[in-house]
Each structure stands twice: as structure tokens, then as C-alpha cells.
Structure 1
Amino acid sequence: MTTATFTMPLRVRYVECDMQNRVFNAHYLTWVDMAHTEALSELVGGYESMVAAGVDVVVVGAELDFRAPARFDDRLEVRTTVHPPGNTSLRSDFAITRDGVLLAECRMTHVCVDTTTYSKQVWPQWLRDKLPSLD
């Protein structure tokens, strides 16, 4: 099985921190969403082109585990690993690190949907060909 891995650099902004000078938990999912969008752009040539072709993705599951806090002005990396798609789903794993130290892990499942009805659909072959495969 092949996977595709991408890394997105990130700098923690003051607005993302709470009164304890730690990143508020909801921001981790924002970062994961940003990293997923970047990974899709690399894989399929841009999220906009995917949507223009009638294909979108929606989150159906997210699991986030915290290991250590991030703080204001930390330089982080969000590593995204995209797995081969299922019939309609796509699983991605994320690791958020600071200087090689794991701060948080996330697992997300997206489902392929039609951009008009937002009903679940099978991955079109042209898109499946651009995603990791079960080789």
C-alpha cells in the first residue's frame, strides 16, 4: 500500500492561544484542515479544480489526541499522510510537531460528495488515479 506524505510549516499566532498561553484545542483542527487542503492541492492540482469538476469532500470523522501543548510563536510542522481511498472515503493521518516533538495526532475521514447535491458518490476514476493506491 502506498501513501502520500506532505508537510506544512506553521507559526502559532497570539490569537490562537488561551489564557494559559497554550493553543486553544479547536485550532488544531483548523490546522489539520489547512494541511489537508494543501495535500489535496499537491495531489489533484488544486481544491478548486476538484470542485469545478463536481467533486467535493466532507468530514465524517475526526479524532484528535494531544501529547504536549503548543504556545505562542512556536514554529510547528503539520505532517499529512493520505491513504489510498476507499469506495467513497479517504483517510488521512496528521502529526503536529515542534522541533521533532509530537504535540498532537489526528485521524480524519472524508467522504467524496457531489458539489450540487452533496450526496455521497464514488471517487471518479480521474481523481482516484491521482490519489495513493493499494499497489
Structure 2
Amino acid sequence: MTAPRRPIAELPLRVRYHECDGQGIVFNAHYLAYVDMCSFEAEKALFGSHDEFLAHGTDVVVAEANLKFRAPARYDDELVVSQYPNHLGTTSLIFDFEIRRGETLVAAATVRYVFIDPASLRPTPPPDAVRKVYAALLGD
């Protein structure tokens, strides 16, 4: 039996009225914003802050995002966004995200980030110190 995955970060949030569409449910684009907010919480947990991550001489950009909607979220729902490591490549990093309302899975996301050189904005392998942090999450 496989042990349950442990999240890198969890972000509790409450759905705000303006995030809902005319049908009274969270507008789809807001789920990516929730994922992005959680990714910064993970960065803080791993490196101390976004600035401390950038001090390593690297940054990341989103190259691909996939969302699967499972149940609607509505105004004033209390959600938790959880981030899990998935894959570390040569210049990319993949995370899985779950957005839950209690035990109900509301949405699942997979996001591929690419490490870039902040000056040229070109893909580049991450510095060894950064690679080690992410590799440790995956047991590599």
C-alpha cells in the first residue's frame, strides 16, 4: 500500500463574491489564481520567500496548465488548495494541485513550470541548490 502524498503547501481560502460568475459558481479562471497563490506559499516554505528563491539566480514561468473540474465551488465556500511534487526535469518542474471543500475534490490541476534565466528569460537548468531542494521532495 502506498503512503498518501504529503503536500508541500496548503492554502486555505474563502471564495469571495466577485470570484463567482452569473451561475453563482467560481469562474473557471480563478482556479488558476488559487493554484498560483498556493505555489507562492510552497516557495516560501521551501526557500523562505520569493526574493530568496530569486537570489539563487533563477526564476520559473508557467509553460502548461491543465485543470479538471470535479464539483462547483460557490460564494463563501471554504477551500483548501494543496500542492504536491510530481516531476523534476532538466529545465522543468511539474506540480499537482488539489482544491478541496472539506473532503470534496472541487478541482485538480497539473502545472509545468520552466526554469529561466531572469536576464534572458530563456530556459535554463536550475542552480544545484535549487535542484536539490526539489529533488529531495521527489526522493531523487
Report the TM-score range of the alignment, normalised by the length of the smaller protein.
over 0.9
Of the candidates 57, 60, 63, which is equivalent to residue 60 of structure 2? Answer: 57
| 1:1-135 equivalence runs, <5 A | 5-131=8-134, 132-135=137-140
Quickly say closer, same or farther: Cα 1:96–1:74, change in 2 above 3 A: same
What CA distance in whole angstroms lies between the structure 2 residues aligned with 1:50 and 1:6?
16
Identity of aligned residues (%): 43
More helix by share: 2
Alpha-carbon distance in structure 2 between the residues aligned to 1:30 and 1:4: 18
Question: Helix, strand or coil for the counterpart of 2:121?
Answer: coil
Q: Equivalent residue of 1:83, what SS?
A: strand
Q: Is the contact between residue 21 and residue 27 of structure 2 (CA under 8 Å) also seen in structure 1?
A: yes
C-alpha deviations, 1:76-128, integer Å up to 9, x for none?
00010023421111000001000110000000000000111111111110111
Q: How far apart are the structure 1 equivalents of 2:45 and 2:69?
A: 27
**Structure of greater relative contact order (alpha carbons < 8 Å, 6+ residues apart):** 1
**TM-score of the two chains, using structure 2 as the length reference:** 0.89
**Alignment gaps of 5+ in structure 1:** none
TM-superposed CA distance for 1:134, in Å, is 3.8
